[in-house]
């Protein structure tokens, strides 16, 4: 199947979620939810295998993969407070779940291998991967290769009739894509549509000769895909070429892009982002009011910046202090399992929104201007997601906190009324400054050194925005910077790409892990 262009609201800003990690918590919810839909009846037994050489073997508990997966299997949404009690709810509902660390040769560090048994005695085997920022790919069902990411309504039709494909195509002439996978004498036909297939059509398919099963999986992403989607640009060079012909500000170009990608109006794009800024604002307020959660490393600290500013115990730099304050507040809500927005990930959820909130607070920018800043930032995220990754397990923290910093730099430039080229230059400089940033959280919690890296990313973003607005030369174009960062990330040893080395393996870190 042809790869769809990146979507702002699927891949870059969002999801709205609880938990420490979008790659682990939010992605696991989506994986579990899809499996629950495909099961078609109550799930009784679940066996989850994590590969010993992958990231999930080390992080599945501390970063919420177990909690997220159980929540999805139970139908609990990723922003629902019941997530915290998912394991107990599963026991009460009669669902038995086990987690195993095995050496089965997974090809991706974020690989889930899941076997379920329903109350009807039906067994299903799935494999899925988390690809960063809450995005997933279901890539195996039983012995069949599949490709489901959640942007379509899906049918999986299992048949032993070699001619079943023609019958399905006749019954569903308006489907977007149909692919097949063969195993021995059976075929898995994967049908993708932009709306749920009617019960009547499903019944007709199920009644075809030699059809063994029909699995129904609804879309789980906020923006659906559509065949023949041709976005106007997918990198910075193409954006500049488009701008020369069409003009418009950076935020408007983001709205143009997403309206075409998502088949929605530019106004709808703006409205969706405006609604997300309200969530961000509430998140920061909650963090500043103080958060509580017993199983974390850092207690509430955002208020310390506020009191230090009031008592003039820190240097007079209101803008930077407000940036640090808001980043910290958002990160504390994340660490206490409050509602946040992955932007672009949960581990980096403070950098972008906290920076823009801090600048907006210091300079009295409106919610409208904040929304435009977030849209400008999101377009940088599109280029990173399209040409690299947001998964620290693949390329280190430079593609999480580093990406957030690059995005925030462009957002600040937009707030200050800068040009499209200045947005791109600021993002490139900010990204260059985090080259080689490793992922090494203490005790598998995205708190230490993650808070500091988010704060560093915010300060870096403001500095680079000022430099770009002043006419500094970024030297390396953004597209080349993204390519270099991705290449560096892949060259990092696995120990530095997620959780196996660095600060996470110091004596103090190991003692903290033991105490939690």
Of 149, 170, 191, the last residue of a domain is: 149
Digitized pLDDT (tens) for each residue of the chain, 516 residues in all: 568 999 999 999 999 999 888 888 999 999 999 999 999 999 999 999 999 988 888 888 878 899 999 999 999 999 999 999 999 999 999 999 999 999 999 989 899 999 999 999 999 999 999 998 899 999 999 999 999 999 999 999 999 988 889 999 999 998 999 999 999 889 999 999 999 999 999 999 999 988 999 999 999 999 999 988 999 999 999 999 999 998 899 999 999 999 999 999 999 999 999 999 999 999 999 999 999 887 888 888 999 988 888 888 888 789 999 999 999 999 999 999 999 999 999 999 999 999 999 999 999 999 999 999 999 999 999 999 999 999 998 999 999 999 999 999 999 999 999 999 999 999 999 999 999 999 999 988 889 999 999 999 999 999 999 999 999 999 999 999 999 999 999 999 988 887 668 998 899 999 998 888
Q: Which residue has 């009011």 as its token pair? A: 289
Angle formed at CA 460 by CA 455 and CA 464, multiple of 5 degrees: 155
466 and 510 inside one domain: yes
The CA-atom distances, in angstroms, between 128 and each of 78, 110, 210, 242, 265 are 18, 8, 28, 37, 33
Residue 255 lies in a domain: yes
Burial string for 110-135 (b: 16+ CB within 10 Å, else e) reads: bbbbbebbeeeeeebebbbbbbbbbb
Q: What CATH number does the domain containing 214 carry?
A: 3.30.70.260
- What residues contact residue 323 under an 8 Å CB cut-off, 6+ apart? 354, 355, 358, 359, 455, 458, 459, 462
Rounded Cα distance between 201 and 85, Å, is: 38
Q: Which one of 149, 165, 181 terminates a domain?
A: 149
Q: Is residue 292 part of a domain?
A: yes
Q: How many residues does the chain have?
A: 516
Q: Are residues 334 and 434 in the same domain?
A: yes
Q: Domains in the chain: how many in total? A: 3
Report CA-CA distances (Å) from 67 to 176, 218, 515: 34, 22, 20
Residues 144 and 194 in one domain: no
Three-state DSSP state, 471: coil
* Last residue in a domain, options 149, 176, 208: 149
Q: What is the DSSP letter of 505?
A: G
DSSP 139-175: EEETTEEEEE-SSSEEEEEEES-TTHHHHHHHH-TT-
Shared domain check, 313 and 279: yes
129 and 206 share one domain: no
- pLDDT attached to residue 443: 86
pLDDT of residue 498: 76
| Co-location of 263 and 169 in the same domain | no
Q: Which of 345, 338, 215, 362 is nearest to 285 (CA)?
A: 338
What's residue 310's pLDDT? Answer: 85
Question: Has residue 1 been placed in a domain?
Answer: no
| Domain membership flag for residue 235 | no
Task: Check whether residue 400 and residue 333 sit in a common domain.
Answer: yes
Tokens of 273: 């982002």
Residue 223 lies in a domain: no
Tell whether pTM > 0.85. yes
Q: Which domain range does residue 178 map to?
A: 152-218
Q: What is the pLDDT of residue 334?
A: 93
DSSP category for residue 93: T
Q: Is residue 228 part of a domain?
A: no
Residue with tokens 């060079």: 237
Does residue 23 lie within any of the structural domains?
Answer: yes
Residues 193, 336: one domain? Answer: no
Give the burial string for 198-230 (b: 16+ CB within 10 Å, else e): eeebbebbeebeebeebbebebbbbbbbeeeee
Residue 346, pLDDT score? 92
* Shared domain check, 200 and 299: no
The H-assigned helical ranges of 290-339 are 302-310, 318-335
Two tokens at 244? 């020369």
Q: What is residue 507's predicted lDDT score, i.e. its pLDDT?
A: 93
Return d(Cα 385, Cα 240) in angstroms, integer. 18
> 455 and 374 share a domain?
yes
Kindly state whether residues 167 and 188 are assigned to the same domain. Answer: yes
Torsional class of 14: left (φ above 0), alpha (ψ -120 to 50), beta (otherwise): left
Q: How many CB atoms lie within 10 A of CB 405?
A: 32
Do 134 and 26 form a contact (C-beta atoms < 8 A)?
yes
**Residue located via tokens 């508990």:** 61
Q: Helix, strand or coil for residue 294?
A: coil
Residue 75, Ramachandran bin (φ over 0: left; ψ between -120 and 50: alpha; else beta): left
Do residue 128 and residue 187 come from a single domain?
no
**Dihedral over alpha carbons 447, 26, 9, 428 (to 10 degrees):** 40
The reported pLDDT for the residue numbered 1 is: 56
Sheet containing 123-132: give its strands across.
96-102, 43-51, 111-118, 123-132, 135-141, 144-148
Residue 76 lies in a domain: yes
As given in the structure block, the two tokens for residue 184 are: 């021995």
């Amino acid at each position: 199947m042809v790869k769809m262009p990146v979507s702002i609201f699927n891949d870059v800003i969002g999801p709205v979620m609880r938990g420490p990690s979008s790659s682990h918590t939010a992605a696991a919810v989506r994986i579990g939810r899809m499996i629950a839909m495909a099961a078609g009846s109550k799930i009784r037994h679940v066996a989850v295998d994590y590969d010993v050489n992958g990231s999930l073997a080390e992080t599945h508990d501390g970063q919420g993969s177990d909690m997220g997966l159980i929540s999805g299997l139970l139908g609990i949404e990723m922003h629902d407070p019941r997530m915290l009690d998912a394991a107990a709810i599963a026991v009460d509902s009669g669902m038995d779940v086990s987690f195993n660390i095995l050496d089965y040769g997974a090809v991706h560090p974020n690989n889930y291998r899941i076997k379920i048994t329903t109350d009807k005695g039906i067994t299903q085997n799935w494999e899925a991967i988390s690809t960063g920022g809450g995005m997933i790919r279901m890539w195996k069902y039983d012995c069949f290769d599949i490709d489901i990411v959640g942007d379509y309504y899906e049918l999986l039709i299992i048949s032993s009739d070699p001619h079943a494909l023609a019958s399905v195509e006749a019954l569903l002439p308006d489907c977007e894509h149909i692919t097949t996978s063969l195993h021995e004498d059976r075929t898995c036909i994967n049908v993708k549509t932009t709306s749920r297939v009617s019960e009547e059509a499903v019944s007709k398919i199920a009644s075809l000769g030699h059809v063994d099963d029909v699995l129904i999986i609804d879309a789980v992403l906020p923006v659906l895909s559509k065949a023949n989607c041709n976005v106007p640009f997918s990198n910075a060079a193409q954006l500049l070429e488009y701008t020369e012909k069409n003009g418009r500000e950076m935020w408007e170009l983001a709205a143009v892009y997403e309206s075409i990608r998502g088949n929605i109006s530019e106004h709808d794009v703006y409205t969706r982002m405006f609604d997300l800024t309200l969530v961000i604002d509430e998140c920061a307020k909650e963090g500043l009011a103080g958060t509580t959660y017993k199983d974390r490393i850092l207690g509430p600290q955002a208020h310390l910046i506020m009191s230090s500013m009031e008592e003039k115990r820190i240097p007079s730099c209101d803008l930077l202090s407000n940036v640090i304050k808001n980043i910290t507040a958002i990160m504390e809500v994340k660490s206490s399992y409050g509602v946040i927005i992955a932007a672009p990930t949960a581990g980096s959820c403070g950098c972008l929104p906290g920076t823009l909130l801090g600048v907006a607070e210091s300079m009295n920018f409106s919610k409208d201007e904040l929304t435009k800043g977030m849209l400008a930032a999101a377009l940088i995220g599109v280029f990173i997601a399209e040409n690299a990754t947001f998964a620290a397990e693949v390329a280190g923290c430079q593609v999480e906190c580093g990406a957030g910093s690059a995005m925030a730099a462009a957002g600040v430039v937009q707030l200050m009324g800068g040009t499209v080229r200045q947005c791109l230059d600021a993002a490139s400089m900010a990204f260059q400054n985090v080259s080689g940033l490793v992922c090494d959280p203490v005790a598998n919690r995205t708190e230490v050194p993650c808070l500091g890296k988010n704060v560093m990313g915010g300060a870096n973003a403001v500095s680079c925005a000022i430099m770009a607005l002043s006419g500094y030369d970024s030297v390396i174009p953004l597209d080349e910077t993204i390519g270099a960062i991705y290449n560096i990330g892949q060259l990092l040893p696995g120990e530095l790409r997620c959780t196996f080395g660095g600060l996470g393996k110091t004596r103090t870190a190991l003692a903290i892990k033991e105490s939690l």
